[in-house]
Amino acid sequence: MYDDTITAIATPVGEGGIGVVRLSGPESAEVASRMFRRGVRLRPVDVETLESHRLYYGHIVDPSDGRIIDEVMLTRMAAPRTYTREDIVEISCHGGPVPLREVLRLTIESGAREAEPGEFTLRAFLNGRIDLSQAEAVMAVVSSRTSESLEMAVNELRGKLTGRLQPAREALLEALAYLDAAADFPEDEIPSVDVPDVLKRSETYLREVLASSRMGLLYREGVQIAIVGRPNVGKSSLMNTLLRSDRAIVTEIAGTTRDVITETINLRGIPATLQDTAGIAETEDVVERIGIDRSRQALESAGVAIFVLDGSQPLAQEDRQVGQLLAQRFGSAGDRRLVIAVNKRDLPDRFDHAELLDQFDETPIIELSTVAGTGIDQLEDSVYECLVAQAGEAREPAMVTLRQQQALSRALEHVHAARAALAEGVPQDLVAVDVRSAMLAVGEITGEQVSESILTEIFSRFCIGK
């Protein structure tokens, strides 16, 4: 299936200055030759003879009737110095949907097959140019939402995750080689290996990568932050201040926000989706009740909640009701998913939050004013620290997918099981089963051990031209 020539539009749909149609496979140059012309007289060109990795000006012509489709720049890239390690031709035409579709049509009519989602990157993996973790990093680069997440994704694209897994893999391989040799040749003298120590080292390496992956997943997937509180405490003003723009409507009328409004900010490099929720209170208004129900739903899915209170007013009964709702979700001791924001500190102080301190032990309380702009940096710092605390200790984030994180967890479980079995005196050939399973789990990340169904699942999420 992967020895034919494929084609696809490699740039986003829409209007732009330039659009690219990409060909990859053994007949890329031959397909392009059927439609590429140069010079005033539109002379046919044997693309195979063009110098590799250079741009050539010309026109794309419909070979069936000689009609000029577009003025283009063509690049031939000879294997193996290409993205897929196959011969590649890229045609840069004008970036409108019609010329791109027409050029794509001609490449298909000239002998290429339209690529499946992610098939160019899949071929790069199958041809050994990149491993599976690097292939997945390609999508992370494309979908990066902050400069920090982009930097991490580029590091993974260069093989950083595979490098960090290498010590764990080597330790597992050392343990497995000894266990298999001891089982197969019990009467021979085999160099001794301290298997418990080797497994302990592999477990340490894997734990470090897993801890890094939790933080990296935040940078990759982002987090939802719900801004909650009773009506008219300044939730929408806080959202606008965090966004540095007037996104939510702000008035003196209580209950202005009747639905959940969402916008994304860059929170210390983490893509954070702010959810400005309707004020939670008892109401007979049908529309307000729907908005409040949606606020409760947003709270359930939030990674962190900001409980907004009015610092210029005494604690109200509605504040207590919201506090009870939050206590049900975030009330456990040491839970780092809630930050209390006491707003309107530019006005005379009539607020006593001592009652809340008993309800939310160790919860950060930030005093701020959205009007004066004070306390905002401290609030962002506190929310970020909550996210870091949830992710756990890590020397540096590792940009991973959920699939990779699950494979790391399985590898750790098998190593732990192998160590426990050794301590209980289980025969070494049975211990080797868990060590081998740990190796397979690590191999699922790098692509050394991966099923066709996993490859299909991974690359189906890619765009057609990647």
Cβ distance 82 to 24 under 8 Å? Answer: yes
Alpha carbons 356 and 200: distance in angstroms, whole number: 45
Contact 126, 132 (CB under 8 A): no
DSSP per-residue codes, 170-239: HHHHHHHHHHHHHHH-TTS------HHHHHHHHHHHHHHHHHHHHHHHHHHH-EEEEEE-STTSSHHHHH
The span from the first CA to the last CA of the chain, in angstroms, equals: 17
As a whole number of angstroms, the distance between CA 451 and CA 335 comes to: 39
Q: What is the pLDDT of residue 287?
A: 40
Q: What is the pLDDT of residue 253?
A: 40
Per-residue tokens: 179: 């266990």
The reported pLDDT for the residue numbered 231 is 84
Dihedral, CA of residue 183, residue 186, residue 189 and residue 195, to nearest 10: 40
Side-chain-side CA neighbours of residue 148 (13 Å): 17
Report yes or no: 23 and 112 within 8 Å, Cβ to Cβ: yes
Q: Where do the domains of the chain lie?
A: 6-115, 147-217+401-459, 222-391
Rounded Cα gap, residues 3 and 27, in angstroms:
10
pLDDT at 257: 44
Question: Which residues, in sequence order, are bridge partners of residue 366?
Answer: 341
- Does the structure show a pLDDT above 60 at 108? yes
Q: Which fold has domain 222-391?
A: Rossmann fold (3.40.50)
Do the bridges between strand 304-310 and strand 223-228 make them parallel or antiparallel, or are there none, so unpaired? parallel
pLDDT, residue 181, reads 83
Q: State the average pLDDT over residues 108-130.
A: 94
Query: Is 146 strand, coil or helix?
Result: coil
Residue pair 298/248 in contact by the 8 Å Cβ criterion: no
Rg (CA), the chain: 29
Cα–Cα dist 239/244, whole Å: 8
Task: Report which of residues 358 and 167 the model is more confident about.
Answer: 167
Count of C-beta atoms within a 10 Å radius of residue 437: 17
Bigger pLDDT: 387 vs 249: 387
Question: What torsion do the CA atoms of 136, 137, 140, 142 make, to the nearest 10 degrees?
Answer: -100
Q: Are the C-beta atoms of residues 52 and 128 closer than 8 Å to each other? A: no
d(CA 435, CA 201): 13
Amino acid at 297: Q
- Measured distance CA(119)–CA(135) in Å, rounded: 11
CA distance 333 to 124: 49
Q: Which residues of 97-117 are buried (b: 16+ CB within 10 A; e: fewer)?
A: eebbebbbebbeebbbeebbb
The pLDDT of residue 377 is 94
Express each pLDDT in 356-406 by its tens digit.
666 777 788 899 999 998 999 999 999 999 888 877 655 678 888 889 999
Residue 258 has pLDDT above 70, yes or no: no
Please tell me whether the overall predicted TM-score, pTM, comes out greater than 0.85 for this model. Answer: no
The more confidently predicted of residues 43 and 190 is 43
As a CATH number, domain 6-115 is: 3.30.1360.120
- The per-residue pLDDT for range 67-78, each reduced to its tens digit, is 999 999 999 999
- Strand blocks (E) in 269-404: 270-276, 304-310, 338-343, 365-367
Q: How far apart are CA 261 and CA 267, in angstroms?
A: 18
Distance CA 115, CA 5 (A): 9
The fold for domain 147-217+401-459 equals: Four Helix Bundle (Hemerythrin (Met), subunit A) (1.20.120)
Do residues 95 and 17 touch, judged by C-beta distance below 8 A? yes
Contact between 271 and 264 (Cβ < 8 Å):
yes
281-312 confidence digits (pLDDT tens): 444 444 445 445 666 666 777 788 899 999 88
